[in-house]
Amino acid sequence: MKTLQELYREGLASLRGFPRPDLDARLLLLKSVSLPPEALITDPGTLVKDRPAAKFKRLIERRSMGEPLAYLLGEKEFWSLPFLIRRGVLVPRPETELVVEAVLRLSGGGSERILDMGTGSGNIAVALAKELPRSRLTAVDISIGALRLAGENAARHHVRNIVFIHSHGFSGLRRGAWRGRYGFVVSNPPYVSAKDWMNLPPGTKRYEPKIALVSGKTGLEFVGALVRDARPFLKPGGYLIFEIGFGQKDSVLALFDKTWDEVRVESDLAGIPRIVAARRS
């Protein structure tokens, strides 16, 4: 048997070249041995049995092949909340928190009807449901698996003000009861072009769902449909808020006509235009 410290050093050596090999090795080791986070510091000489040691080595091998850490841990933090994550669902990114921030700022913390288009793990919807407990949310996705996971995350965080709907875009919502009712339509849409997909990190291309990343040839196909189709579902003065990719600002702004006003773009911490917020006239 080997000690915690020995296994950690082996994992660290295998992950050299990754952005945070120390963090990856530590988290995967703690997951494998089911010990508290401080164990590696307070009890580095603890002997690890063969089965958890073998589990750790398998996880390190998968990580060394580029599999996202969130899939290996089964969890990813978003909005300071732990979200269950599985293969087939996009891993939440920190910059998407800007969507949540924009809704909270524009809503004033009141009661709202909010539609989350392409909810994935439910990270945006659950974060908003926690922050705006008097609001009612509708979370939509084309993937049944994603909706199941989003439902699990909603239950995990004890939010009951979200309705989950299986739909391709807005098609499942084209009924009178849904139209003109929402104060906000939000989305982290696929916005990667077919060409840019080829330049993404190998781990992203190999493991994350292409349908949640790639929109089409230009990368704006889903965004264009979102701008066109969201408007009838917004009440007058309602907001469409969504994430965009690098270099897309001008092309996305060109999609809006005079039926929208106060179209604004906000940048992320790297200074990249990242969030579009447009108000229905």
Domain boundaries, the chain: 2-65, 87-280
Instruction: Please report the pLDDT score of residue 175 as a whole number.
Output: 63
- In angstroms, the Cα distances linking 258 to 226, 254, 280 are 16, 11, 9
- In angstroms, the Cα distances linking 92 to 69, 95, 205, 247 are 12, 9, 15, 21
What CATH number should be reported for the domain whose range is 2-65? Answer: 1.10.8.10
C-beta of residue 190 within 8 angstroms of C-beta of residue 120: no
Write down the pTM of the prediction: 0.94
Angle at 91 between CA 90 and CA 93, to 5 degrees: 120
pLDDT digits (tens, 9 = 90+) for 131-141: 999 999 999 99
pLDDT digits (tens, 9 = 90+) for 8-37: 999 999 999 899 999 999 999 999 998 888
Instruction: Please report the pLDDT score of residue 176 as a whole number.
Output: 61
CATH top class, domain 87-280:
alpha beta
